[in-house]
């Protein structure tokens, strides 16, 4: 494992993690909320979020949110990488 200098989370980093805790309670779509709240494209937001999921400081700040997002990311990766199983209907 590589040694990384620990860098404290910025306010924006904490705001992103806080947003991930409760974005679904708002009425507008997530991408609209991202643009309005962070002034970022959804693509850039998710790039920043991916970096935060690998940051130990994020885990210290909000372990429940970080672990939930890591599980979701890992499930999506597995779904992409695993071959689809096709059921054999017995020649019917």
In a domain, residue 87? The reply is no
In a domain, residue 66? The reply is yes
In a domain, residue 3? The reply is no
Mean pLDDT of 63-83: 92
Mean pLDDT of 53-82: 93
pLDDT in tens, 35-65: 999 999 999 999 999 999 999 999 999 999 9
| 49 close to 5: Cβ distance less than 8 angstroms | no
In a domain, residue 91? The reply is no
| 42 close to 22: Cβ distance less than 8 angstroms | no
* Distance separating alpha carbons of residues 68 and 60, to the nearest angstrom: 14
Number of domains in the chain: 1
In a domain, residue 2? The reply is no
pTM for the complete prediction? 0.77
| 80 close to 87: Cβ distance less than 8 angstroms | no
Q: Name the one residue in this structure whose structure tokens are 């970022």.
A: 40
Largest CA distance in the chain: 61
In a domain, residue 32? The reply is yes
Does the pLDDT of residue 2 top 60, yes or no? no
Instruction: Determine the structural domain holding residue 39 and report its residue range.
Output: 11-79
The percent of residues above 90 in pLDDT, for the chain, comes to 67
Mean pLDDT of 15-21: 96
58 burial (CB, 10 Å; 0-12 / 13-18 / 19+) is: buried
């Amino acid at each position: 494992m590589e040694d990384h200098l620990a860098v404290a989370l910025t306010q924006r980093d904490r705001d992103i993690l806080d947003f991930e805790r409760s974005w679904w309670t708002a009425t507008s779509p997530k991408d609209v909320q991202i643009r309005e709240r962070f002034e970022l494209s959804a693509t850039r937001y998710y790039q920043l979020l991916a970096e935060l999921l690998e940051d130990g400081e994020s885990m210290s700040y909000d372990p429940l949110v970080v672990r939930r997002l890591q599980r979701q990311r890992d499930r999506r990766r597995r779904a992409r990488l695993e071959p689809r199983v096709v059921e054999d209907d017995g020649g019917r």
